[in-house]
Amino acid sequence: MVYQPASGARDLLPLDVEKKRWIEERLQQVFHRWGYHRIITSTLERMDTLMAGEAIQRQMVIQLQQNGEDDELGLRPELTASIARTVVTRMAGLHYPQRLYYNANVFRRTWESRHNRQQEFYQAGVELLGAGGLLANAEVLLLVADCLAALGLREWHLILGEAGITRSLLSAFGDNLQDKVRSAIAHLDRITIDTLPLSEKLRDRARMMMDLRGSSADVLQKVSILDLDEEQREAVNNLKSLVELLESEKKLPLILDLSLIQTIDYYTGIVFEVVNDTDQTRVLGRGGRYDQLLGLYHPQGENIPGIGFGLNIEDLYQVLLSTQQLPQVIPASNWLVAPETPSANAFAFAYAQKLRDSTDLARVEIDLGGRDADAIRQYARDRGIAQIAWIKADGSPKIESLR
């Protein structure tokens, strides 16, 4: 029997890990520079936490069998709900805003027929909690741009929508058809819009919503002539102010898209996707504002504003492969310490520790015996080890360079 990973899971070998770590370290440096602190939440959560008040579909969550337990448990399909739960239940009395970041795996059940479709993913992202308004929105979007710049990515753009405006425009379709219209708009499916039992006025409205995509000036012009109520107009004005601020920074290649609808439904304000220009189907990250999510978990139901994003490590990895920036080999050890006789073993371990303590990161291996000097040298050459320290019986070292 050949043992393989579970369906939808995979193993990361040392070189894969080096490439993944290269990405994560650069993102972490950016998060630190912007004042964000890492948080680690439980991989395992109660289902009512994970579903975030029905905002996340149950079939997306990989559920676990429980014996004799009342709580339904599942693996997190994303991090925001878990962080929201942690902040309001474990960090009472903290000062806002809170700037938190994560680097973790998530799990999503796939119900497609494709064999062995991936179900475990890696993400890095941030949550900015306790701050609403223009500056908080701008901070998170500019932080996205800084992350991609740190990775050396140039060919990307940000698609920016506004969930409140989109949801408000959808309210005209009624409860019985709203989900179907929402899905059709999300997938730019004009055929479904043409076949749904809609009045011509509502059909035109659905088509119009699909066309609210393009340059910020064009989209804002189109939406400004719609029949909007006071709340909708305020949301449009806020969006316009954000666009003007972002465009003044000249860091964000921006497309405005008021048909943008996320599959997770807890967003209340701006929503966005980061898309690779060379592969339009590859979404590098997603995020948005969620001002009512934390209230679901708060003991007194207090709403605390929040906004964040998650970047998909696998998708970044695939894009970066073509740039030759990622490590091509696993790092070689700097030293191989080889005791010449059994009586030198203790001295070899002591010398190896001295080397490890001498610099920030010295990779030092001990030769574990069972081969002659020529085989030891060949092993070191094969592994790219630069120097061998031969340890004599009296503890003195003889250094041999293989370069």
**pTM above threshold 0.95:** no
Q: Which two tokens stand for residue 122?
A: 């890696």
Confidence of residue 330 (pLDDT cuts 50, 70, 90): very high
Confidence of residue 104 (pLDDT cuts 50, 70, 90): very high
Average pLDDT value for the chain: 90
383 & 301 share domain: no
d(CA 236, CA 246) in angstroms, rounded, equals 15
195 & 240 share domain: yes
Which pLDDT value is given to residue 113?
47
Which pLDDT value is given to residue 174?
80
142 & 225 share domain: no
Q: Which two tokens stand for residue 261?
A: 């609808």
Q: Which residues make Cβ contacts (< 8 Å) with residue 372, sequence separation at least 6? A: none
Confidence of residue 280 (pLDDT cuts 50, 70, 90): low
Rg (CA), the chain: 27
Q: What is the mean pLDDT of residues 117-123?
A: 89
Residue 80 has pLDDT above 90, yes or no: yes
Which pLDDT value is given to residue 230?
85
165 & 225 share domain: yes
235 & 268 share domain: yes
8 & 122 share domain: yes
Q: What is the mean pLDDT of residues 118-140?
A: 95
pLDDT in tens, 246-261: 988 777 899 999 888 7
d(CA 261, CA 378) in angstroms, rounded, equals 58
Which pLDDT value is given to residue 316?
96
Q: What angle do CA 59, 160, 22 make, to 5 degrees?
A: 75
Cβ-based burial of 400 (10 A; exposed 0-12, middle 13-18, buried ≥19) = middle
Cβ-based burial of 168 (10 A; exposed 0-12, middle 13-18, buried ≥19) = middle
Q: Are 306 and 291 in contact (CB under 8 A)?
A: yes
Q: Residue 204 is part of which domain span?
A: 156-276
pLDDT in tens, 337-396: 999 999 999 999 999 999 999 877 899 999 999 999 999 999 999 999 999 999 999 999
Q: Are 106 and 77 in contact (CB under 8 A)?
A: yes
- Longest CA pairwise span in the chain (Å): 94
- Candidates 390, 378, 386; CA nearest to 337 is 390
Percentage of residues of the chain with pLDDT beyond 90: 57
User: Pairing mode, if any, of strands 335-339 and 73-75?
Assistant: unpaired
260 & 287 share domain: no
142 & 20 share domain: yes
Which residue type does 312 have? N
Give the Cβ contact number of residue 363 at 10 Å: 14
d(CA 172, CA 126) in angstroms, rounded, equals 34
Instruction: Give exposure, 234-251, as e/b (b: 16+ Cβ within 10 Å).
Output: ebbebbbebbeebeeeeb
pLDDT in tens, 141-169: 999 999 999 999 988 999 999 988 888 88
For the chain, the helix, strand and coil percentages under 3-state DSSP, each to the nearest 5: 40, 20, 40
Q: Which of 276, 295, 318 is the last residue of a domain?
A: 276
22 & 144 share domain: yes
360 & 321 share domain: no
